[in-house]
Structures are given as C-alpha cells and as structure tokens.
Amino acid sequence: MTKALERREKLRVDLIRAAEQMIAERGLSGLKTRDLAREIGCANGAVYNLVADVDELVLRVGSRTLHRLDEALSAAESTGNPSPQETLVRIAIAYCDFAAENLELWRALFEHRMAADKILPDWSVNDQLQLFRHIYHPLALLLPERGREELGITARSLFSAVHGMVALGLEQRLVAVPLPALRKEIAGLVRAMIDGLVARAK
C-alpha cells in the first residue's frame, strides 16, 4: 500500500469519525461538509474524494451505529435469565437504552432519507437485516410450530412494535416520559405480546 493511499484511508476514517461525533452532538441536520473539512484538516471539496456525497457519509456512520447496536443486543441476549421470554424483554430494554444513550445517532438511522432514485448499497441493507436475528432465535423457541418465513415476519413485527414505543417515548415533542417508566412500559408490553402470541399459537 502506497503512502498516499494510506493517508487517504486515514483521512476517510477521520472523516467518518468526525461525522459521527458531529451527528451525536448536533443531530443529523447539524452535519455540514465545511465543518467536517475544517475538523479533519482539508478543503471542503476534498471531502468528495473520500466519499461520494453526504448520503454515503451518513450511511457509513449508520453502519457503525448499527454495529454498536448489534453488540449491545448481543450482550443482552446472552446475559441473565435464559428463558426466551425474558431474553426478548432484555433485548427490548437494551434497544431502548441504546437509543437513549445514542439518541442522535440512533435517530439518524431513521431520519435519513435519500433521493428516491438512489438505491441503498448492499452493505447497508445487510447491516439492517442483521438486527432481526437477535429476536428470531428466542422467538423460534417460543413458537416452535411456526415456519421460517412466518417467524421472520413476526420477529420484524415485534422489533417494529418495540421500536415504535422507543421512538415515540424518547420524543420530547409529546409529554416526555421518564426513561425508567419507559423501560417498565416496554417490559410490560413485550411480556404481554409474547404471552399473547404463545397463547394464540396453541
């Protein structure tokens, strides 16, 4: 690897790190190419040698966020009471905690919209699909008679439901719920959902 390419790679990493920090501090709408350039010590235009456009930059930050989220969910998956139901509750709570602790980065995952004609790169799509896998496994234990396809859909629904509670719960727009209350609500509703799913499966 030549010296120039090394420097380029290092700059690209710096750029993504700076973008991550900027989103974390000022939100997705606070991300500005000129500020980034100043931060990593290059000209405004040079950003476009490291990255095609800001869309890609946001996606790269999103990929990092998704991987950290994945780790947080993995930790929750394998810690504590191994009953599938309580595992799912822990995963949901871990999702809530991650969102609260990484509020702006987590929001950026869902706020960001690309032009309708541009298609998501494969690596970004994959990053997202990996998430459901945490839910799939415990769910399969609880609903053994369901097929792969059906389980996948249910896993996605369960994730979406928890996501909704977290998303609206952390929104300050409406009456703000204190975080401990939100965690309790999520735990309660996840348990209820699973109870209901298992009972209906009988």
Partner DNA sequence: AGGAAATCTGAACAACGTTCAATAAATATT
Partner DNA sequence: AATATTTATTGAACGTTGTTCAGATTTCCT
Residues near a second copy (CB under 8 A)? 27, 29, 111, 113, 120, 125, 128-129, 153-154, 156-165, 167-169, 173-175, 177, 181, 185-186, 188-189, 191-197, 199-200
Shortest spacing between CB 110 and a second copy, in angstroms: 8
Report the nearest approach of DNA to the CB of residue 29 (Å).
9
Measured from the CB of residue 196, what is the shortest distance to a second copy in angstroms? 3
The entry of DNA, a second copy, none that residue 160 binds, CB within 5 to 8 Å by partner kind? a second copy
Residue whose tokens read 């109870």: 195
126 touches, from a second copy, DNA, none (C-beta below 5 to 8 Å by class): none
**Cβ pair 169, 185 in contact under 8 A:** yes
Q: What is the residue whose two structure tokens read 């920090």?
A: 21
Q: What is the contact surface with DNA in residues (CB under 7 A)?
A: 2-5, 7-8, 11, 31-34, 42-49, 53-55
H-type helices in 31-131, by residue range? 33-40, 47-50, 54-77, 84-101, 103-111, 122-129
Q: Are 174 and 168 in contact (CB under 8 A)?
A: yes
**How many CB atoms are closer than 10 A to CB 197?**
16
Say how far apart CA 170 and CA 168 lie, in whole Å.
6
Nearest to a second copy of 43, 198 (CB atom) = 198
Least spacing, CB of residue 125 vs DNA, in Å: 20
